[in-house]
């Protein structure tokens, strides 16, 4: 579904890291990206999403080229149809739970998608609350639901469960599996938790010294 070759020089706290990675994500699978903190995992996700520009490389997603500097192609994040779930949720504080999901609708989507997603993620009774009135687990569930509303071609999950307590983490892992079973999206998950990785993903890529290995 997604093929990428990414090169990027990162300024680390001690030495610079020369990121040079090749990715081939299979459609409908959750692949995990494993690596020490500061190794460039988030940068890889950001480059795939179009938020950070690689120094060189090429990205193709769903048969179209997203990034190819030689042909002058750099598709804007808005047009890549990628979903991104952040570690710190990034819900819009001025909108309710339903408002956050409604904001994520593509112009051609049926507004009823929001109700369906609220039900699928058991958020209906929290629909009218603002993010400030939610627990960490609830916020992350909203963030996941919001990312899935526009039916992304690729879902990027940047340590989505690391800020949660054990109970919320397990609950959300199951939620994620259930949603994946039902919707079959392609996802790239950044995680440190070995148990979580074996539970959620079918393939693991390890990032070490700027290189990826299976």
Q: Which is nearer to other proteins, 10 or 95 (CB)?
A: 95
Whole-number minimum distance, CB 210 to other proteins, in Å?
24
DSSP character at residue 69? G
Q: Which is nearer to other proteins, 2 or 210 (CB)?
A: 2
Which is nearest to 66 in space by CA: 1, 113, 9, 130? Answer: 1
Whole-number minimum distance, CB 195 to other proteins, in Å?
28
Whole-number minimum distance, CB 22 to other proteins, in Å?
24
Q: Which residues bind other proteins (CB under 8 A)?
A: 49, 51, 77-79, 81-84, 86, 88-94, 103-104, 106, 131-132, 146, 150
Residue 115 CA to residue 48 CA, distance in Å, equals 29
* Cβ–Cβ under 8 Å, residues 89 and 139: yes
Q: Which is nearer to other proteins, 162 or 206 (CB)?
A: 162
Whole-number minimum distance, CB 95 to other proteins, in Å?
8
DSSP 84-134: EE-TT----TTS-HHHHHHHT--TTS-THHHHHHHHHTT-GGGTT--GGGS
Q: Which is nearer to other proteins, 10 or 105 (CB)?
A: 105
């Amino acid at each position: 579904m997604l093929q990428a070759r990414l090169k990027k020089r990162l300024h680390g706290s001690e030495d610079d890291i020369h990121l040079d990675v090749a990715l081939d994500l299979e459609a409908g699978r959750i692949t995990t990206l494993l690596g020490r903190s500061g190794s460039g995992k988030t940068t890889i996700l950001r480059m795939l999403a179009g938020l950070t520009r690689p120094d060189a490389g090429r990205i193709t997603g769903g048969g179209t080229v997203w990034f190819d500097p030689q042909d002058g192609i750099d598709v804007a994040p808005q047009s890549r149809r990628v979903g991104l779930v952040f570690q710190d949720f990034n819900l819009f504080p001025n909108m309710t739970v339903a408002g956050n999901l409604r904001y994520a609708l593509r112009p051609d989507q049926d507004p009823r998608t929001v109700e369906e997603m609220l039900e699928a993620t058991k958020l209906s009774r929290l629909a009218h609350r603002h993010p400030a009135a939610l627990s960490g687990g609830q916020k992350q569930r909203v963030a996941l639901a919001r990312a899935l509303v526009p039916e992304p071609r690729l879902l990027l999950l940047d340590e989505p469960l690391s800020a949660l307590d054990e109970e919320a983490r397990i609950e959300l892992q199951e939620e994620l599996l259930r949603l994946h079973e039902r919707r079959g999206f392609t996802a790239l998950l950044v995680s440190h938790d070995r148990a979580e990785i074996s539970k959620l993903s079918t393939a693991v890529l390890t990032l070490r010294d700027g290189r990826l290995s299976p």
